[in-house]
Amino acid sequence: MSQVEELQIQIRNLPTEDFSKLREWFLRLEDDLWDQQISADFKAGKFNTRIEKARAELAQGKAREL
């Protein structure tokens, strides 16, 4: 049995309160990891082309500020 399968069984057997706590922790972890990825991508310049395109469209009147 894999470690993931073992965790799945353990999670299914958690009391409701513990399951809720785990779910909240996991969602926060997922959000934190996503934020870290977005930050790393931004620092690496992965959004530069899209930012430039959006600014150009705004300057041409094809978009509006939110």
Task: Dump pLDDT digits (tens) for 1-42.
Answer: 999 999 999 999 999 999 999 999 999 999 999 999 999 999
How many other CB atoms are there within 10 angstroms of residue 51's CB atom? 11
Angstrom distance (rounded) from CA 48 to CA 43: 10
Please name which of 40, 8, 38 lies closest in space to residue 26, comparing C-alpha atoms: 8
Look-up of token digits 């469209």? 57
Q: What stretches of the chain show up as alpha helix (H) in DSSP?
A: 3-12, 16-43, 48-59
* Residue range 33-58, pLDDT digits in tens: 999 999 999 999 999 999 999 999 99
Whether residue 51 contacts residue 57, with contact meaning beta carbons closer than 8 Å, is answered with: no
**60: pLDDT strictly greater than 90:** yes
